[in-house]
Chain A
């Protein structure tokens, strides 16, 4: 660690037992919920690697569900999330599986929202409570949940990227990182912008108006990350 602060050493305050298997899992659940952005009816958790083998002992299942319910990694109700989710009538299922060549602590969320739209979100807990989301509905994204983020799905029209950057620039919002993915050339493309500031609603509305824009997701940071630990 190059620059270590006081609360990197004394923190985070979290629900145990494991920053990667519990705190990180809760953040993954919460970010998945934010991406869907609507009431959730059903979630299937495809658990990969170490998640698939040890999820019960580390409470990874409870943490993932807690995140889906919108809890932060330091929420004392995290322990009883499996009971809470039942009360809310959300159907859940855990399926240990092998997703292929991914980080050992990886989960794929299959989520059905209130409008019966299905979402596929894949993310990993990469240590010390840090996470990354790699795929949303088959599109590659680059999302850590530490920065405010905008993800757009749009027709692959030339100039779209420049238009979005322009809108952000005019709003005085710095772009910390950008990733573009075109799984099929000429079809839909996905752009992920991690930003230095939260994005006001009117800026999002402006982006939605860009020609060929199908979908815009905004995500604000999900709980704090921290240091490396067990």
Chain B
């Protein structure tokens, strides 16, 4: 099979071969790595189970990061969810709790899947697992959806970047949410084109988001950006399944993201020299963790 270099090519290949995004990713990986379908699936199942553990641990008990800057919030949300008082409904609260959990687990030196990065490790698990629970999907179907997310991720990786140091948080949390939205659309029965519409809308909505980690640690504002990214993915999947299309196609949205990312001053690209990192409070946290002269 041809290797898709852009979103448009990806849609064409899928249409010509009458396959889904996930089947494209599976076929490509089998071809390039010489692996069997069974091997790929068993590896993806272990990936899913690490994701699920990370998205669960912080909801069952309070998990704190090594620095102590973040923690306990996934647990709070889970309690709130159990109280039944939420405004937005259980799926939304659950997704945020899962995303925070994975971020807290990451900060605590727990096991996570960098998807695509460690900083954004909560978004895809939270959005996908929530959608799976709401729709009553099996683990096999979720694994299939993970392959779909990777089909979009590969196009992002080939044409732009996942690194906050290069493209700001839009490249990390934005890519994670775009991949998640695309995967959920496939999980809900949408076409490859609809999946890419969802990814495009996510990128447009997160365009310009800077990377400004307090004390250089992947904690503040990262954990809450994972919660917000997960919600963005779920909401956008609904938008697209209702029949709404992106007026700007995926490839344009991706190119815009990359260009904006490179235009960001270096202070706003993971250097911890801008944004919330250098607010008086951000600097106070930094001193608290690393002392005065760090």
Contacts and interface: CB of A to CB of B under 8 A. Distances in A.
Does B bind A?
yes
A16 B111 CA distance: 6
Given A4-B154, A7-B43, A57-B217, A226 B114 contact: yes
Interface string B130-142: 0000000000000
Nearest to B65: A17
A10 B105 contact: no
Nearest to B105: A16
A79 B105 CA distance: 11
Contacts of B146: 10
B289 A15 contact: no
A83 to B, nearest CB: 13
Given A5-B32, A226-B114, A228-B166, A17 B217 contact: yes
B157 A16 contact: no
A22 B110 CA distance: 11
A230 interface: yes
B162 A13 contact: no
Contacts of A15: 109-112
Given A17-B65, A54-B216, A5 B33 contact: yes
Interface string A1-45: 111111111111111111100100000000000000000000000
Given A14-B111, A17-B218, A227 B157 contact: yes
A85 B45 CA distance: 33
Contacts of A3: 32, 158
B150 interface: yes
B164 interface: yes
A10 B116 contact: yes
Interface residues of A, number: 39
Nearest to B117: A229
Interface residues of B, number: 61
A79 B110 contact: yes
B116 A13 contact: no
Interface in B172-212: 172, 179, 211
A18 B157 CA distance: 19
A9 B46 contact: no
A166 to B, nearest CB: 31
Interface string B103-137: 00111111111111111010010000000000000
Contacts of B110: 15-16, 76, 79
A174 to B, nearest CB: 18
A10 B40 CA distance: 12
Contacts of B261: none
A7 B179 CA distance: 14
Given A16-B107, A58-B66, A230-B117, 12 more contacts: A2-B158, A4-B157, A5-B33, A6-B25, A10-B146, A16-B108, A17-B66, A18-B118, A56-B67, A56-B289, A76-B110, A228-B165
Q: Which 3 A-B pairs have the closest CB atoms?
A: A229-B117, A16-B106, A9-B153
Interface of A: 1-19, 22, 50, 53-54, 56-59, 62, 74, 76, 78-79, 127-128, 226-230
Interface of B: 25-26, 28-29, 32-33, 40, 43-44, 46-47, 50, 65-67, 105-119, 121, 124, 146-147, 149-150, 153-154, 156-158, 161-166, 172, 179, 211, 213, 215-219, 222, 270, 289-290, 294
